[in-house]
Amino acid sequence: MTFLPHLPNLKGVKPTGDLAPALSSQEFREFMARLEMKPLLAHHPSCHYYDHHLIWIGKLPLCLGCAMMTCGIVSGIVSGLVWLPHVELLTTKPFYVWLALGIFLYIPALLQIWIQVKAYKVLARYLLGVSVTVLIYAGLWMTPFTVWGWILKIGFVIGFIGVWNLTLKVRSHYSKSPCQNCPEGRFPLCSYTMKRIPQLANRYFAQADGTDREADEFVRALQGLKASHQISGEGRSHFLHP
């Protein structure tokens, strides 16, 4: 049994003409902004359906992709600072060898678009971070500081940005949001945000002057959904942490 219908996300709504100021009052924008808030470092709702997008440090949710990529970048930088000055074999390799290594480390992140396994995603995003440091080292530092070298550096930057944007485009095409088929609504109008509604609604009506009637009705409708949920007892705990 579903908890909420797939209601539309009103983020960014800017009514004009006869609809103004419907759903455009400052109070309603603040209401929606608070309703849409996510944990700062998670970048996603911290609910059961986003489990494969998150890792947890105690009760702190973190975006899995960003966290693991950051770890990879830091590891790459630290390893470079520690090992490169002392291992002659590493410093004598030509830049194209390092480029090849960086591309090799990037491949798991590309395959991860289709391999939706959390453990693999952790590894792939970590290697992506290492790949970024290796590629930048090869493309901007190992290439010679000559006219030809600067041509190579500029070409590397253009190619790096192009591949990065292409990867994001492909990922956005094949990666589907957990909200798309979620049985409990679609963020921010879902079971994840229901617990916020009473306090946010009280704050909204304390500040609103009643001129935005459509917004008032919308907020009251959400209050009704929250009340129905409490009475029926249909709510289920899908939060990773209370």
**What confidence tier does 54 reach under pLDDT thresholds 50, 70, 90?**
very high
Residue 90 inside a domain? The answer is yes
Q: Give residue 229's pLDDT.
A: 57
Mean pLDDT of 177-185: 87
Q: How crowded is residue 205: how many other Cβ atoms within 10 Å of its Cβ?
A: 15
**Per-residue pLDDT averaged across 124-138, rounded?**
95
Determine, yes or no, domain membership for 158.
yes
CB 112 within 8 A of CB 122: no
Amino acid at 93: K
The reported pLDDT for the residue numbered 222 is 87
Among 179, 176, 206, 173, which Cα is nearest to 191's?
A: 179
Two structure tokens written together for 168: 């994001």
Q: How far apart are CA 172 and CA 183, in angstroms?
A: 22
In a domain, 84, yes or no: yes
Distance CA 78, CA 86 (A): 13
Of 11-20, 32-41, 99-108, where does mean pLDDT reach its minimum? 11-20
Phi and psi at 228, nearest 5°, equal -60, -40
Which residue type, as a one-letter code, is found at position 13? V
Q: Please report whether residue 209 resides in a domain.
A: no
In this prediction, residue 116 carries a pLDDT of: 85
Tell whether 22 is covered by a domain.
Answer: no
Structural domain boundaries, residue 106: 71-174
Q: Do 28 and 208 meet the contact criterion of CB atoms below 8 Å apart?
A: yes
Q: Output the pLDDT for position 227.
A: 60
Is residue 129 situated within a structural domain?
Answer: yes
Higher pLDDT, 17 or 64: 64
Q: Report yes or no on 142 lying in a domain.
A: yes
Is residue 151 situated within a structural domain?
A: yes
Work out how many domains the chain is built from and give that number: 1
Give the pLDDT confidence of 146-179 residue by residue, as tens digits.
Answer: 999 999 999 999 999 999 999 989 888 888 888 8
